[in-house]
A and B are shown apart, each in its own frame.
Chain A
Amino acid sequence: MTSLLRLTNVRKSFGTHHVLQGIDLDVSKGEMVCLIGASGSGKSTLLRTINLLEPIDDGEIILDGVDISEPGLNPQPVRQKIGLVFQSFNLFPHMSAADNVMLAPSRVKGLRKTELEAPVSALFERFGLADRIGHFPDQLSGGQQQRVAIIRALAMQPEILLFDEITSALDPELVAEVLDVLRALRGEGMTMILATHEMGFARELADKVCFLDRGRILEAGPPAELFDAPKKERTRQFLSQVL
Chain B
Amino acid sequence: MSEVIEAVASPGRRAVYEARLRKRSMRIAALSTMAVVVAIVVLVPLAPGWEAVKRSFFNGGVFTKTFPGLLNAFLLDIAIFAWSLPLIAIVGLLVAVCRDIQRPAFYPLRLFATIYTDVFRGLPVILVIYLVGFGVPGLGMPRPWNSPYIWGSLALILVYAAYVAEVIRSGIESIHKSQRSAALSLGLSPSDTMRYVILPQALRNVVPANMNLVVALQKDVALLSFVGPVEIFRQAGVYKSLFANFTPYVGAALIFLVITIPATRYADFLTHKRRRLEQ
Residues on A facing B (Cβ under 8 Å): 48, 51, 53, 75-77, 79-80, 82-84, 86, 88, 90-94, 103-104, 107-108, 152-153, 156
- CB neighbours (8 Å) of A103 from chain B are 183, 186, 188, 196-197
The reply to whether A107 and B192 contact each other, CB–CB distance below 8 Å, is yes
- CB neighbours (8 Å) of B2 from chain A are none
- CB neighbours (8 Å) of B192 from chain A are 107-108
The reply to whether B178 and A90 contact each other, CB–CB distance below 8 Å, is yes
The reply to whether A152 and B197 contact each other, CB–CB distance below 8 Å, is no
The reply to whether A77 and B187 contact each other, CB–CB distance below 8 Å, is yes
- CB neighbours (8 Å) of B196 from chain A are 92, 103, 107
The reply to whether A90 and B181 contact each other, CB–CB distance below 8 Å, is yes
Given contacts A80-B187, A107-B192, A108-B188, contact A53 B181 (CB under 8 A): yes
Given contacts A90-B179, A92-B179, contact A108 B187 (CB under 8 A): yes
A94 is contacted by which of B181, B183, B204 (Cβ under 8 Å)?
B204
The reply to whether A79 and B184 contact each other, CB–CB distance below 8 Å, is yes
A107 to B194, CA, bound (A): 13
The reply to whether B187 and A79 contact each other, CB–CB distance below 8 Å, is yes
Interface majority SS on B: helix, strand, loop or mixed? helix
The reply to whether B200 and A94 contact each other, CB–CB distance below 8 Å, is yes
A237 to B220, CA, bound (A): 69
- CB neighbours (8 Å) of A84 from chain B are 185
The reply to whether B188 and A92 contact each other, CB–CB distance below 8 Å, is no
Q: Counting CB contacts under 8 A, is B201 at the interface?
A: yes
The reply to whether B181 and A86 contact each other, CB–CB distance below 8 Å, is yes
The reply to whether B182 and A79 contact each other, CB–CB distance below 8 Å, is no
Residues on B facing A (Cβ under 8 Å): 178-179, 181-189, 192, 196-197, 200-201, 204
A5 to B54, CA, bound (A): 87
* A–B pairs, 25, beta carbons within 8 Å: A51-B185, A75-B184, A76-B187, A79-B184, A80-B187, A83-B186, A84-B185, A86-B182, A90-B178, A90-B181, A91-B182, A92-B179, A92-B183, A92-B201, A94-B201, A103-B186, A103-B196, A104-B186, A104-B187, A107-B192, A107-B196, A108-B188, A153-B186, A156-B186, A156-B187
A107 to B196, CA, bound (A): 10
A92 to B181, CA, bound (A): 11
- CB neighbours (8 Å) of A75 from chain B are 184
A79 to B197, CA, bound (A): 17
B186 is contacted by which of A48, A77, A79 (Cβ under 8 Å)?
A79
A22 to B204, CA, bound (A): 43
The reply to whether B182 and A92 contact each other, CB–CB distance below 8 Å, is yes
A6 to B186, CA, bound (A): 21
A82 to B182, CA, bound (A): 12
The reply to whether B187 and A92 contact each other, CB–CB distance below 8 Å, is no
Q: How far is the CB of A207 from chain B (nearest CB, A)?
A: 24
A86 to B192, CA, bound (A): 20
The reply to whether B184 and A53 contact each other, CB–CB distance below 8 Å, is yes
A184 to B182, CA, bound (A): 23
The reply to whether B185 and A92 contact each other, CB–CB distance below 8 Å, is no
Q: How far is the CB of A46 from chain B (nearest CB, A)?
A: 14
Most buried by A among B178, B181, B182, B184: B182
- Please give me the residue from chain A that is nearest to B204 by CB atom: A94
Beyond the given pairs A84-B185, A92-B183, 11 more chain A to chain B contacts, judged by CB atoms under 8 angstroms and listed by A's residue number, are A76-B188, A79-B185, A80-B186, A80-B187, A90-B182, A94-B200, A94-B204, A103-B196, A103-B197, A108-B188, A156-B186
A83 to B188, CA, bound (A): 12
- Please give me the residue from chain B that is nearest to A93 by CB atom: B201
Give the 4 A-B residue pairs with the shortest CB-CB distance, closest first.
A90-B182, A80-B187, A104-B186, A84-B185
Q: How far is the CB of A75 from chain B (nearest CB, A)?
A: 8
A92 to B175, CA, bound (A): 11
A88 to B183, CA, bound (A): 14
Most buried by A among B181, B187, B197, B200: B187
The reply to whether B197 and A86 contact each other, CB–CB distance below 8 Å, is no
A224 to B204, CA, bound (A): 51
Q: How far is the CB of B193 from chain A (nearest CB, A)?
A: 9
The reply to whether B197 and A92 contact each other, CB–CB distance below 8 Å, is yes
A91 to B187, CA, bound (A): 15
- CB neighbours (8 Å) of B188 from chain A are 76, 103-104, 107-108
- CB neighbours (8 Å) of B197 from chain A are 92, 103
A83 is contacted by which of B183, B185, B200, B204 (Cβ under 8 Å)?
B185
- CB neighbours (8 Å) of B187 from chain A are 76-77, 79-80, 104, 108, 156
Q: How far is the CB of A136 from chain B (nearest CB, A)?
A: 12
- CB neighbours (8 Å) of A76 from chain B are 187-189
Q: How far is the CB of A85 from chain B (nearest CB, A)?
A: 9
- CB neighbours (8 Å) of A86 from chain B are 178, 181-182
The reply to whether B186 and A152 contact each other, CB–CB distance below 8 Å, is yes
